[in-house]
């Protein structure tokens, strides 16, 4: 039986890493804020700038996607510079507190690698309201 996913199950702050090709290197740390309603996922990410040829030390992006049972899929679009969307496909753990899978962009999968994330917190009502308003204003 699949896990039921609604906003109270997965909303909040998650942290993780993604790797280029394999996990033999340090990987890039990133944080994610998820908001999920009726299986539709939206939110944002923040990560150190390890590749973009801009002066920003941090890169932020919007995410949109969906959750179906234990499957989680989303597209990350960077805000500060032109870049192809990055696709993430993964599977939630049984307890819904972590997910792992792979990311890719380009055709056919020019760049790809694994990722892992785990939930750090669930937003309070006041935080959730502020973030929802900010996302509505996008």
List the chain pLDDT tens, one digit each, 138 residues: 344 444 347 899 999 999 987 666 788 999 999 999 999 999 999 999 877 667 778 899 999 999 999 999 999 999 988 888 999 999 999 999 999 999 998 876 688 899 999 999 766 555 545 445 444 444
User: How many domains does the chain contain in total?
Assistant: 1
Question: Which residue reads 């870049």 in tokens?
Answer: 83
CATH number reported for the structural domain that contains residue 87 in this entry: 2.40.128.120
- 93 pairs with which residues across the strands? none
> 34 lies in a domain?
yes
Tokens of 87: 């696709």
Specify if 138 maps to a domain. no
**pLDDT, position 31:** 95
Predicted model pTM: 0.78
* Omega before 83 within 30 of 0, i.e. cis: no
């Amino acid at each position: 039986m699949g896990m039921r996913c609604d906003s109270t199950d997965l909303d909040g702050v998650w942290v993780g890493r993604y790797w280029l090709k394999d996990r033999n290197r340090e990987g890039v740390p990133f944080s994610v804020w998820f908001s999920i309603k009726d299986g539709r996922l939206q939110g944002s990410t923040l990560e150190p700038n390890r590749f973009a040829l801009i002066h920003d030390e941090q890169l932020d992006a919007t995410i949109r996607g969906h959750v179906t049972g234990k499957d989680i899929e989303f597209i990350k679009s960077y805000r500060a510079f032109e870049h192809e969307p990055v696709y993430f496909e993964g599977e939630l753990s049984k307890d819904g507190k972590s997910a792992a899978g792979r990311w890719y962009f380009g055709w056919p999968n020019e760049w790809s690698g694994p990722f892992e994330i785990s939930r750090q917190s669930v937003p309070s009502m006041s935080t959730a309201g502020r973030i929802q308003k900010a996302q509505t204003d996008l």
